[in-house]
Structure 1
Amino acid sequence: MTFSDSSQFKATETIDGIPYFINSYWTAKQRQSHSIHEISYRACFKAQLPEFFIQKLTQPGDAVLDPFMGRGTTPVQAALMGRRAYGNDINPLSILLTRPRLTPITLQQISDTLQTIDWSRGKIEREDLLAFYHPTTLKKLEALRLWLAERAPLHATNVDPIVDWIRMVSINRLSGHSPGFFSGRSMPPNQAVSVKAQLKINQKLDVTPPERDITALILKKSKSLLRDNCVPHRVLHKLQTGAAWEIDVPDASINLVVTSPPFLDIVQYATDNWLRCWFSGIDPKTVAIDIHRTEKAWTAMVHRVLKEQIRLLSPGGHVAFEVGEVRKSKVLLERLVWQAAEDMPFNRLGVMVNEQQFTKTANCWGITNGLKGTNTNRIVLLQKR
């Protein structure tokens, strides 16, 4: 099926020569997708977005790619739908968040493996992290880091899937606002505050971090993630770390690309993920995440990415390029993507706008829903000629 084959897509309006398709294509409600997607990450789209395009534009066995996979929403959804899953991101953290969810796993396997950890090995290496953790909890986190480093080195490819899963869940329990996290009360888990900011939170609330049961919290989160089961069987997948314009995938092998790049300079991924990087053994300074401060620089980046998609896509394959909205809607990034694709062998099909009303994490930073931040999904649809 192609986009143009569907009677569902009729242009609502045309602005500056660009057809816009405006509707509520998928729900904006929270926690409506498969439970295995409930891994927090800054500036990620809902699983309903790739699900929509995978359902409309691919068949079982087709290959789906996200060159900016972040927490892995696109490849995980592709796997759930029986497609081959491909993903790439410049941050090695992305593989740690994505790979464990592409292999069948059971809660009993997780529980049995947790019992093999020697929790007495941990020693506090960073006193400043006591702003987040009770001393006993921090020692156990250090023991867990040692255990993971021995059994699942950062850049290893042949990793025990149970160990891989435990690391993924641990990364997502490092800090948060409820007793379900390893830390004392902090900000929402998709962006770690600085040590200085955490000390201020502790002082304001007049609290010290309580001791947490790490094993129990890992099992609790695992049970939640697996409540809708996991991928039904081991799927063909390939995940890699690198630039989105240098992907190690054969020519004309991808049927669909669903992706969302960094939006100009508004999200500081390395800063937000500093605590996760510490736990995983990643030096944030070595992660060359592009931050584009001008429209010209951002458009040039998109051009490089789309040029690579031309190489990767099979004839007739599609790109769904989600850009949201930024800077109080004064900068319409879909226009820049449209411009970047102008001289390429793409049919530029239009811009889908999924309208939505919802409560988002940005609310806690003083950003009002519907007025600031990203309030619509704006997806540029392209088809390789």
Structure 2
Amino acid sequence: MKREPSFVHEYLQNFRLPGQDGQTTLQPVQTTVCDVVSIQGINYHRFTNEFWTARQRQAAKIQEISYRACFKPQLPRFFITLLTDPGDVVYDPFSGRGTTSIEASLLGRSIIANDINPLSRILTEPRLSPPTLEQVRVRLYEIPDLTSPGCDLDLSMFYHPDTLRSLCSLREYLISRSNRGECDPVDQWIRMVATNRLSGHSPGFFSVYTLPPNQAVSPERQIVINRDRNQTPPFRDVREIILKKTRSLLQGIDPKQRENFVKNAENSLFLTGDARYTPEIEDNCVSLTVTSPPFLDIVQYSADNWLRCWFNGLDAAVIGKKISTARKISDWETIMQDVFRELFRITKPGGYVAFEVGEVRNGKIRLDEHVIPLGIHAGFSCCGVLINKQDFTKTANIWGVNNMSVGTNTNRIVLFYKPLAGNG
């Protein structure tokens, strides 16, 4: 099926959000608002509608891994189903928790994922080869008693002494297995789940009550939280929490999806490097890129992930120095221009890039208006900007957005197309 820009334009203009039963709703619905945005004297299409929503389709449970500043699975699914066929290659150069990769694999697409932070691969790759609950249970109870005599870091403000001993023992076991090259898919799964359960605000995490799991506070800040809440870390059973989360993540995976996972795990490519330089990826091989780049200096990934880095034996400071956190829009544009040049090289003719950006600094900067010239300069044509309306989020509140008119209450996606040879 050809998916040329004219087809995409018509689809977006006439879009109606499916109802809960998968059929187009018969209730009065919002139609797409079509207008243009003028950039450097050129008009580009802009489409505003509710193209996807959390109510439209319950995301697969296996997507429920917390990570700072990640988009909903419905976003990549929209573009994957619209613009690709089973077997096509879907890429995410800023993979994060792996939302695009997991969604693409569920849909039977081949995947390439990259993120300069090695935590991304730790959180994503195991979910492409999910073990059974019983395999996880057997492995957890095969591990020597989780009674490490001590820890190389004072984490007493987060964990009960017995929980901390168990956690440190598990950490030593996993790092040792990894260093010896013996970490199999079951070990990788346990590491992924444990990394996700390190800290949070419910009994389903190893820690005492703290901030949501997509960000780890400093030990000093946690001491203040404990004092203000008059709390001390309660005992948490590390093995049982891992099993409980495993049961939840595996819920609802059907045989076809598991088959897709197995097939795509063998052919997947995971990279841990700079998105501006990915020689491991062949020219003209990617059908669709769906990604969301770092947004200026809003999110400090290494600071948020220091506890996860510790558990996995990673140096958060070293990783943090590699991650680009441009404070000036001109510096951000310079970095993204190189990313677009690389995306143009690897995108096949007729392929697409869905580049999710947002309004930052209280709406004063609309990154889509800065991104369009970058993609054009790299050789892409711009199909337009999609603005998806969505509910106000807790994450937006964390970022200081307190109303529905600005910030992360909308997704803004610039859609680029690599012209076919001879089409300019």
Q: Structure 2-normalised TM-score?
A: 0.87
Q: Which residue of 1 aligns with 2:173?
A: 147
Larger displacement relative to structure 2 (23-32 or 208-217): 23-32
1:195–1:104 distance in 2 versus 1, CA, 3 Å: closer
- Pairing partner for 1:205 from 223, 229, 245: 229
Q: Alpha-carbon deviations, 1:185-226, whole Å to 9, x = none? A: 111000000101100010011111011000110010111111
Task: Indicate which of 319, 339, 354 corresponds to 1:305.
Answer: 339
Distance 1:102 1:132, change over 3 A: same
Deviations 1:25-84 (A, max 9, x none): 000459821110000000000000110000000000000000000000011111100000
- Gaps in structure 2 of 5+ consecutive residues: 14-32, 420-424
- 1:339 alignment counterpart: 373
Alpha-carbon displacement from aligned partner over 1:312-343 (angstroms, at most 9, x marks no partner): 01111100000022111110000111121232
What is the CA–CA distance in structure 1 between the aligned matches of 2:213 and 2:405, rounded to whole Å?
A: 23
Query: Is 1:256 the counterpart of 2:259 in the alignment?
Result: no
CA drift of 1:346 comes to: 1.0
Structure 2 distance, partners of 1:301, 1:366, is: 26
- Structure 2 residue identity aligned to 1:315: P
Indicate which of 25, 39, 58 corresponds to 2:51. Answer: 25
Output the CA distance in 1 between the equivalents of 2:396 and 2:161.
31
Amino acid across the alignment from 2:6: S
Distance 1:120 1:350 in 2: 54
Please give the alpha-carbon distance, in whole angstroms, between the structure 1 residues aligned to 2:217 and 2:57.
25
Between 239-248 and 370-379, report the one with greater CA deviation.
Answer: 370-379
Whether 2:185 is the aligned partner of 1:161: answer yes
Report the equivalent of 2:277: 246
**1:196 matched to 2:220:** yes
Q: Secondary structure at the match of 1:350?
A: strand
1:109 paired residue number? 135
Q: Which residue of 1 aligns with 2:6?
A: 4
Residue aligned with 2:365, SS: coil
Aligned equivalents of 2:234, 2:209: Cα separation in 1? 9
Q: Distance in 2 between matches of 1:146 and 1:322?
A: 38
Q: How does 1:277-292 map to 2 (within 5 A)?
A: 277-287=309-319, 288-292=322-326
Q: Determine which of 223, 232, 242 is the counterpart of 1:218.
A: 242
Match of 1:115, SS state, is: helix
SS of structure 1 residue aligned to 2:11: coil
User: Partner amino acid for 1:251?
Assistant: D
Pair 320,133 (structure 1): closer, same or farther in 2 beyond 3 Å: same
CA distance in 1 between partners of 2:310 and 2:247 (Å):
25
Distance 1:109 1:310 in 2: 42
Correspondence 1:119 to 2:160: no
Contact conserved, 1:20 with 1:352, CA < 8 A, in 2?
yes
Q: Which structure has the bigger radius of gyration?
A: 2
Name the residue aligned to 2:100. Answer: 74
In structure 2, the partner of 1:237 is 268
Quickly say closer, same or farther: Cα 1:293–1:74, change in 2 above 3 A.
same
Does the 8 A contact of 1:359 with 1:369 survive in 2? Answer: no
Q: Distance in 2 between matches of 1:135 and 1:31?
A: 42
Superposed CA RMSD: 1.8
Please state whether the residue corresponding to 1:15 is helix, strand or coil.
strand
Distance in 1, Cα, partners of 2:216 & 2:396: 14
Select 1:228's aligned residue among 252, 255, 262: 252
Q: Is the 8 A contact 2:276 2:338 kept in 1?
A: yes
Residue identity (%): 49
In structure 2, distance between residues paired with 1:132 and 1:31: 36
CA distance in 2, matches of 1:62, 1:209: 48
Q: What CA distance in whole angstroms lies between the structure 1 residues aligned with 2:386 and 2:332?
A: 21
Q: 1:41 to 1:116 in 2, by over 3 A?
A: same
| C-alpha distance after superposition, 1:238-275 (max 9, x if no partner) | 11100001122111111100000000001000000000
- Paired with 2:57 and 2:209, the residues of 1 have a C-alpha distance of 23
Write out per-residue CA displacement over residues 103-126 of structure 1, whole angstroms, 9 at most, x where no aligned residue.
Answer: 142111111111111134513224
Residues matched between the structures, number: 383
Amino acid at match of 1:86: I
Aligned to 1:48: 74
Q: State TM-score, norm by structure 1.
A: 0.95
Aligned partners of 1:325 and 1:375 also within 8 Å = no
CA separation of 1:365/1:276 partners in 2, compared to 1, >3 Å: closer, same or farther?
same
**Contact 2:396–2:408, Cα closer than 8 Å, also in 1:** no
Q: Tell me, in whole angstroms, the C-alpha distance in 2 between the residues paired with 1:344 and 1:120.
A: 53
Look up the SS of the partner of 2:295 in the other structure. coil
Partners in 1 of 2:148 and 2:94 — Cα distance?
Answer: 35
The answer to whether the 8 Å contact 1:274/1:284 transfers is yes
